[in-house]
Structure formats: structure tokens, C-alpha cells
Amino acid sequence: MTSFLRFVHAGIGPAAVPYETAWEEQRRVHEEVVSGVSPDTCLLLEHPAVYTAGRRTDPSERPMDGTPVVDVDRGGKITWHGPGQLVGYPIVRLPEPIDVVAHVRRMEEALIRVCAELGLETTRVEGRSGVWVLGDTVAARTAPAGGGLDLRLDGRLAAAPDPRLHPEFDPRLAGPEYAPSNAGQRGDDRKLAAIGVRVSRKVTMHGFAINCDPDMTSYDRIVPCGIKDAGVSSLSVELGRPVTVAEVLPLAEKHLAEVFAHVPA
């Protein structure tokens, strides 16, 4: 027996749902899924502009101008939600044994398929959740000519810091489905979709947010997801055309249904 995922379009465009209202609705649906009153349910919606901070957010990653932030009970760090971004909250019962990373990978897989259908190649990045566009390959470093500054260690050119040493690196997010972490061999990777979850009584809350055509300057006030050595992007930026939430919504629903259909009930 496989899982059935019910979809609820909770508010898109002018009907965008304030974050606190959606959070309360998540808690209500979570109780129903836990008790067996409702099947696994995915809320799909947009939020008015808001910053939300997971439990691991550092003070230095918050807005410096006093912009309000909603502190939430999910994993991860600080991010932005707002118009032009499709948000999904899969509230689902996880099979035994509980594997939160597998749940994250399922959401990533569905969103990677959405991007592929739109004509954009995306991937996972080792140690980091979400869906990414990889930076361009950096040409091999060579010694500078003439009298230029030569940053060498024991006769070797200094390498870029290894991302695997960063505190936000999660060693559980590794394997052949993840692109190697960027240790200076690529330009900045760009995060297209963020993921943060919480599991209570074997049922998930929170979920994903994929940038369709938002105002990307909203990310300038924070350190998105606590990651200082990567960028943030959108489908519209990467594809060079407007890609609206309305266009992405049915694709997300289709691919989430396909991926979650293979989860044992």
C-alpha cells in the first residue's frame, strides 16, 4: 500500500495567507493527520512578505535594520517568504523507521522534477538541503605573473575554505544524488528552493519554498539559510522569462503526488 497525498490550495496571489495564520492551520491539520481524521495533506500557498527564523538562526543572520522576524519551530535558519514564491507544507505521516532526511530528499526530488519540466537543470548540494543551480566551473588557479601577490602555502596556491567545515554543513546530506560541496572549484551556487521541517508524533510540519518570480532584493537584509558562501535565485532569473506561481503550482502538485505515492503508508 502506498501513500495518498491530499492537496489544499490555501491561498495564492491576492488571497496570500499571513504566515501566522498558515502556521495555525498547519497545527490544526497536523492534529487531524496524527489522529487519523485526515489523510496526508499538503498545503500550497503564498505568504505576504515575512522573514521566518528556524531554531538554529544566529543573531548575526537576522535583518540589521530591525525588520520583524517570526521565530518558528522548524529546523534550519532564517529565510524569507513572500509574493512570487510558492510555499508547500506537506503534513504527512512518516513510515517506520522515522527518516527525516528521506523526507527532505522526497521534497527535493519533486522540485528538481518541476524545474526539469520547465527546462532548468537543478541538483542537490552535499551537506545542504534544498534545490540548487550550480555555479560555473572556475578555471584552475595559476601562479600570478610578474610581481603580483602570490598567496601560497608551502609552495602551493592557497585553496578556498572547505564548505564541509562550515557549521551549517549537514553530513547526513551526502551520497551520489548530491553534487560535491563547492571548495572553490565553482562560482557561487544559487539556492532556488529552501526546505525546513519539523516532526512531531511521527507527522511532519513545515516544508519547502521555491522562488518563482519574487522580489529578490528581500534576501539582501539577511544571510539566507545561514549560508554566506552561496547565492539565492529564482526560476524567472535562471530561465530568463517570467515564471509565475500560477505556472509552477500544478507542476509542483503533480510531481509531489508522484514522489510521495512511492512512500509506504
Q: Which of 42, 115, 212, 225 is catalytic?
A: 225
Mean pLDDT throughout 139-162?
45
**More confidently predicted of 63 and 32:** 32
What is the per-residue pLDDT for 226? 57
What is the per-residue pLDDT for 156? 42
- pLDDT, tens digit, 9 for 90 and up, residues 188-226: 899 999 999 999 999 999 999 999 999 999 888 776 665
Residue type, 43: L
- The yes-or-no verdict on residue 142 having pLDDT over 70 is no
176 confidence band (pLDDT: 50, 70, 90): confident
Q: Give dist(CA 119, CA 135) in Å, integer.
A: 17
Specify the long-range contacts of residues 215-218, CB closer than 8 Å, at least 24 apart: 215/82, 215/83, 215/84, 218/49, 218/80, 218/82
Contact between 229 and 164 under an 8 Å Cβ cutoff? The reply is no
For the chain, how big is the Rg over CA atoms in Å? Answer: 20
- The yes-or-no verdict on residue 153 having pLDDT over 70 is no
Q: Give dist(CA 42, CA 253) in Å, integer.
A: 9
**More confidently predicted of 192 and 177:** 192
254 CB-near residues (< 8 Å, 6+ apart):
none
230 confidence band (pLDDT: 50, 70, 90): confident
* DSSP β-bridge partners for residue 194: 209
Greatest alpha-carbon span in the chain: 74
Q: Give dist(CA 50, CA 73) in Å, integer.
A: 16
- The yes-or-no verdict on residue 183 having pLDDT over 90 is no
Mean pLDDT throughout 99-124?
97
17 confidence band (pLDDT: 50, 70, 90): very high
Contact between 131 and 193 under an 8 Å Cβ cutoff? The reply is yes
C-alpha cell at 199: 516532526
DSSP for the chain reads -B---EEEEEE-GGGPPPHHHHHHHHHHHHHHHHHTSS--EEEEE---SEEEE-TT--GGGS-TT---EEE-SSSS-EEEE-TTEEEEEEE-BPPSSP-HHHHHHHHHHHHHHHHHHHT---EEETTEEEEEEPPPBPPPP-PPSTT----EETTEEPPPPPGGGSTT--TTS-STTEEPP-SSSBS--EEEEEEEEEEETTEEEEEEEEESS--GGGGGGS-GGG-SSSEE--HHHHHTS---HHHHHHHHHHHHHHHHTTSB-
| CA nearest to 179, candidates 191, 167, 168 | 191
State yes or no: is 115 an active-site residue: no
Contact between 78 and 53 under an 8 Å Cβ cutoff? The reply is yes
**More confidently predicted of 155 and 184:** 184
What is the per-residue pLDDT for 143? 40
- The yes-or-no verdict on residue 114 having pLDDT over 90 is yes
What is the per-residue pLDDT for 223? 67
What mean pLDDT value characterizes the chain? 86
What is the per-residue pLDDT for 84? 98
Q: Which pTM value belongs to this model?
A: 0.85
**More confidently predicted of 67 and 237:** 237
What is the per-residue pLDDT for 103? 96
- The yes-or-no verdict on residue 108 having pLDDT over 70 is yes
Provide the percentage of residues in the chain whose pLDDT is more than 70: 84
- The yes-or-no verdict on residue 234 having pLDDT over 90 is yes
- The yes-or-no verdict on residue 178 having pLDDT over 80 is yes
What is the per-residue pLDDT for 199? 96
78 confidence band (pLDDT: 50, 70, 90): confident
Contact between 168 and 77 under an 8 Å Cβ cutoff? The reply is yes
